Each structure stands twice: as structure tokens, then as C-alpha cells.
Amino acid sequence: MHGRRGRTPAATAAPAGATSTADVELIGATSTATGLTVRAELDTETYPIGIRYTKKQVDALPITRHEFHGEWNYTLRCSPGDTPPPT
């Protein structure tokens, strides 16, 4: 069985106060005929906005794009200590 796990940041999922448990439950109830299931949870943490990275910093990230839709499907291989500081 395949699965996709992820957290939905509340700040990007919907305007403040608009995201509900029902929305997350609806996403989490998704499955396909081939067995793909989705697990979702609401992330209520607060994150800084306006952080900027230069093209050089982004290009330095160890990203391997997948053959199928590499703009969406990729592997990022780094540890938190490898992340460059924002500018």
C-alpha cells in the first residue's frame, strides 16, 4: 500500500479561523481504487512570513528531481543544519 503523509500549515491552508477539523478529516478520508491513502493533520503552529532566499541559495540545495513531473516530485536530501540562513 502506498501512503502520503503530510502536515497542512494552517497559515497557508485557509484564512485565519477558516480551517476546520472537518476540512482536515475530509482530506484524510481520501483514498483511491489502487490503495493510495492520505493522512492529514492540522498544523496550528505559527511560522514567520516574508523569509527570502536567493536563487544561489536555492540552487545549492541538494534536490533530485524525479523523472515524472520533476517540478512537483523531487527528493530533498539535507539535514536541518545544512539549510542556508535566509537573507
User: pLDDT (tens digit, 9 = 90+) per residue, 1-46?
Assistant: 444 455 555 445 555 555 577 888 888 788 888 888 887 788 888 9
The answer to the question of residue 70 being in a domain is yes
Residue 51 lies in a domain: yes
Cα 77 versus chain centre, distance:
15
Model pLDDT, residue 68: 93
Identify the domain containing residue 77 by its residue range.
Answer: 3-82
Domain-located, residue 49: yes
pTM over 0.75? The answer is no
DSSP annotation of 81 reads G
Domains: count for the chain: 1
87 within a domain of the structure (yes/no):
no
Q: What is the mean pLDDT of residues 66-70?
A: 91
Query: Smallest Cα–Cα separation from 32: which of 66, 7, 4?
Result: 4
Whether 56 is covered by a domain: the verdict is: yes
Whether 71 is covered by a domain: the verdict is yes
The answer to whether residue 44 is domain-embedded is yes
What Å distances lie between residue 11 and 29, 41, 42, 62, CA to CA?
22, 13, 10, 27
Q: Is residue 22 part of a domain?
A: yes
